[in-house]
Structure 1
Amino acid sequence: MAEDSKAFAQAREAMGRHTIPELIDLLESEDVRTRFLAEMCLRDATST
């Protein structure tokens, strides 16, 4: 389970390197995990 948490944290960190326009584009992804991470990072980037 710790490996899952670590993988998630790494994926979130990597997604957080995208610009706001890139994150907005990623919200249209067919992959649910990509959309979820993009939304989290977009909220982080805009402090909402």
Structure 2
Amino acid sequence: MRAIRFHLGLGGQQIPDLDSEACTGCGACLVACPNGSIEMREIKLQEEVL
């Protein structure tokens, strides 16, 4: 499953949609981005307390 999909915006511009649930943090999007506008940030997960 892909974490980023694109749809066409005004003037045919490609607009990205990110599915954060599908993101594995592999960094492939960083390499593929033509203008370097994607950055990765580490997110700390909270443990669920029962």
The two structures have a TM-score, normalised by structure 1, of 0.30
Higher strand proportion (structure 1 or 2): 2
TM-score normalised over the length of structure 2 = 0.29
Higher relative contact order (CA 8 A, sep 6+): 1
Q: Larger % of helix: which?
A: 1
